Homo-oligomer: A and B are copies of this chain.
């Protein structure tokens, strides 16, 4: 029988005096050893719960790779679906290998900074041995190294996933992969070390809970710079200033991708609490789940209402991106807001997307899936919105982080994009672009039997 909330199994009233007593009472002499044993059990329990949180969170953020893949495959034309799928499978594989070989240690140098607070030491990640005990754990008060590595790897891959959509339908496969190598081995881990690795931005008070800036804006900046270097798709912008809409080939797939991303975001934000082995931590994780969901819903709803007000008709693609904009916006601080504020932050994130997508088109920046509005613009908003509810954050530190990370990513990825363009070429030939990259780059059609209108 489904118990009622109002009649829960073990009322607080029963436990309150026990708890009060346990916390305050002087411990009897003879009980000393067992209290220590209790401590040991408690440590073990916390370690298991924290590790489990990372494993669950890691699976969910892994799943976001599938979400980006479906979203992007749905938003491109059917002649470019196979290459979009290939890019997404390949980028995850590359990110996984490079984060193992270089990124993880570069991002979390511990005491091993090459340049203190600015540059860690690259090197392969090493897991704890098989069958460790409490004494053998690297950090028994935290979680297993393997779970931590597994979880953090997924954030690195997410950053690369963000880039692939914007540059769709015109970038060469291997040019993109070379960029992913640089992004996942160097750009992402270095800037992430500044905050999450305990570097200078952390010291400066920059606060970004799960990565509105550190993951999403970084991907967004890299995508924006790439779009500028690469230029728009043939036929997207008319000589007369006219913007030609190029509809995606499969909105069911795109919607599936959005739902996958929403689902994965519970792991993205929730497991970024990094602990659930106490009442305090697990209740905080719960707040994060509820707030993340509220922001996503509000982002979608804002887009639903705004598109009807602005364009006279609901726009599904903006609803999907609106939900994602809400999710990106709440990511910098999903813990401290209440449900009302989370709803507001998400709604503004969704609203930003509705206004920014046409704005980019007016600037003739061709972002095929809307990743720059979603991940960069809503990411900046979310990073600033931290100060609304988190007393420990300051607008100055938030701006400092946004500008420093933005500058670093624009410069390093700008150099990378230009170097790739110069050395191996970035863009397919115009005829190839017109006939579709699936045919020219891969010789494999995603939907070979469905004729095109």
Contacts and interface: CB of A to CB of B under 8 A. Distances in A.
A127 interface: yes
A412 interface: no
A290 B149 contact: yes
Tell me the dominant secondary structure on chain A's binding face. helix
Q: Which of A8, A308, A447, A448 has the most CB of B within 10 A?
A: A447
Nearest to A14: B141
A182 interface: no
A59 to B, nearest CB: 5
Given A86-B319, A319-B89, A62 B262 contact: yes
B3 A274 contact: yes
A339 interface: yes
A47 B279 contact: yes
A3 B447 CA distance: 45
A236 interface: no
Interface string A10-39: 111011101111110111111111111111
B100 A249 contact: no
Interface string A326-366: 00000000011011100100000000000000000000000
A127 to B, nearest CB: 5
A20 B33 CA distance: 11
Interface in A223-277: 247-253, 255-256, 258-260, 262-263, 266, 270, 272, 274-277
Contact of A69 (B26, B27, B147, B255): B255
A89 B355 CA distance: 20
A43 interface: yes
A339 B127 contact: yes
A128 B225 CA distance: 42
Given A147-B289, A251-B444, A313-B444, 4 more contacts: A27-B34, A65-B259, A140-B279, A174-B308
29 contacts: A5-B108, A19-B40, A20-B135, A22-B36, A28-B33, A45-B45, A48-B276, A55-B289, A56-B56, A62-B293, A63-B263, A69-B255, A73-B255, A81-B251, A86-B319, A90-B301, A92-B297, A94-B301, A97-B343, A100-B343, A127-B338, A128-B286, A133-B279, A150-B289, A153-B290, A252-B253, A256-B256, A313-B441, A451-B453
Interface stretch (A202-210, A375-383, A416-424, A427-435): A202-210
A126 interface: yes
Contact of A314 (B16, B86, B149): B86
Contacts of A38: 34, 37-38, 41
A13 to B, nearest CB: 9
A46 interface: yes
A9 interface: yes
Contact of A22 (B37, B54, B130, B253): B37
Contact of A134 (B19, B30, B320): B19
A387 interface: no
B48 A48 contact: no
Nearest to A84: B252
Contact of A266 (B59, B77, B314): B59
Interface in A277-310: 277-280, 282-287, 289-290, 293-294, 296-298, 300-301, 304, 308
